[in-house]
Amino acid sequence: MTKIKVGVIGGAGYTAGELLRILVNHPNVEIVFVNSSSNAGNLISDVHSGLVGESDLVFISELPFDSVDALFLCSAHGDSKKFMDENPAASKLKIVDLSTDYREKHPNHDFVYGLPELNRKEITDAQHIANPGCFATAIQLTLLPLAAAGKITDEVHVNAITGSTGAGVKPSSTTHFSWRNNNISIYKPFEHQHLQEITQSVCQLQASFNKEINFIPVRGNFARGIFVTSYINSELSLEEAKLIFKDYYKEAAFTFVVDKNPDMKQVVNTNKAIVYLEKHGNKLLIVSMIDNLLKGASGQAVQNMNLMFGLDEKAGLGLKAIGF
């Protein structure tokens, strides 16, 4: 099979590094170029040191669109739309955008929201994909089966903790080691930017949904991973809820409903999502966990690319959890 030729825009950040780590060993992909104006001429492995011995590519500042079949946009939020406006030739390629720019449905663009557990068929037919946010992915996986069954009839309460890589590669006062280590804090309570896309997806499946999603994001003192606990008032028994979740995810390539209380190390370094349920009185507790850089970003982006090109959905994503 002819390999898919890909280019990466904004190649110096964490998501680009993880993307390249996957693509360099993807059986159906050839990385043609990685664009980064600030690093042009430098070896990719000088920035993403885990690629030493894996690739001798250098960053370029040019944009040779005619040499690729697909583009991954790994630029900062707000920059993807600028890039598309300034480079109309790019629109002819298959594109997966990892920023927030096109996640909200709008008649002014044709980007499909790229959560395979929600829009798998639409993704396979799409030209342009808006890759979901990391928190949004993990939280939606706790809610979509209930929404599809029309069972979200009360407020939703969510607490989710994320690793420091979720804040990007550039250090800030709340991401550098001496602050983050042995520390924990909340930020943007009830106002996180991912709430819009979460609500959009829930309403896609349950049009009558009009309740609050109360989300408390937490900064964790670890590098990668997201651990979500959601709960709602529900008349469903635990057995009924499990049947709904297991039926909804029965064909999902990477999302697994388990009966044993899981831990985050089961998903770190993988494209897996694990979902677990408990019932406490009238409250249904749903736990989910993902690697924020993989299922929450670059792994899901490759999963979307696989679907867009008719490949095995799992191609290049056979990653095992580290465990220790």
User: 33-46, pLDDT tens digit by residue?
Assistant: 999 988 899 999 99
pTM: 0.95
Radius of gyration (C-alpha) of the chain in whole angstroms: 19
- Do the domain assignments include residue 50? yes
Calculate the alpha carbon distances from 171 to 105, 157, 175 in Å.
Answer: 32, 30, 6
CA 118 to chain centre: 13
Domain co-membership, 139 together with 104:
no
With tokens 């030209």, the residue in question is: 127
> In terms of Cα–Cα distance, which of 237, 287, 239, 294 is closest to 263?
287
Domain co-membership, 139 together with 280:
yes
Domain co-membership, 153 together with 264:
yes
- Do the domain assignments include residue 19? yes
Number of domains in the chain: 2
- Do the domain assignments include residue 12? yes
So what's the pLDDT on residue 101?
96
Domain co-membership, 140 together with 85:
no
Domain co-membership, 147 together with 93:
no
So what's the pLDDT on residue 171?
66
Domain co-membership, 101 together with 241:
no
The Cα 303–Cα 114 span in angstroms is: 9
- Do the domain assignments include residue 320? no
- Do the domain assignments include residue 57? yes
Catalytic residues: 134
The Cα 319–Cα 324 span in angstroms is: 15
- Do the domain assignments include residue 319? no
Domain co-membership, 248 together with 158:
yes
Q: To 10 degrees, what angle do helices 298-308 and 14-23 make?
A: 50
Read off the CATH number of the domain in which 302 is found: 3.40.50.720
So what's the pLDDT on residue 311?
97
**How is the beta sheet containing 283-290 ordered, strand by strand?**
185-186, 213-219, 156-162, 226-233, 283-290, 273-280, 255-258
- Do the domain assignments include residue 217? yes
> In terms of Cα–Cα distance, which of 121, 58, 67 is closest to 93?
67
Domain co-membership, 119 together with 182:
no
DSSP tag of 41: T
Read off the CATH number of the domain in which 157 is found: 3.30.360.10
What residue ranges of the chain have pLDDT lower than 70?
1, 167-171
- Write out the residue range of the structural domain in which residue 58 sits: 4-131+297-308
So what's the pLDDT on residue 310?
97
Domain co-membership, 126 together with 207:
no
Domain co-membership, 58 together with 143:
no
Domain co-membership, 90 together with 193:
no
Neighbours of 156 (CB within 10 A): 24
The Cα 294–Cα 18 span in angstroms is: 7
| Neighbouring C-alpha atoms within 13 Å toward the C-beta of 201 | 27
| Neighbouring C-alpha atoms within 13 Å toward the C-beta of 191 | 4
- Do the domain assignments include residue 317? no
Domain co-membership, 217 together with 201:
yes
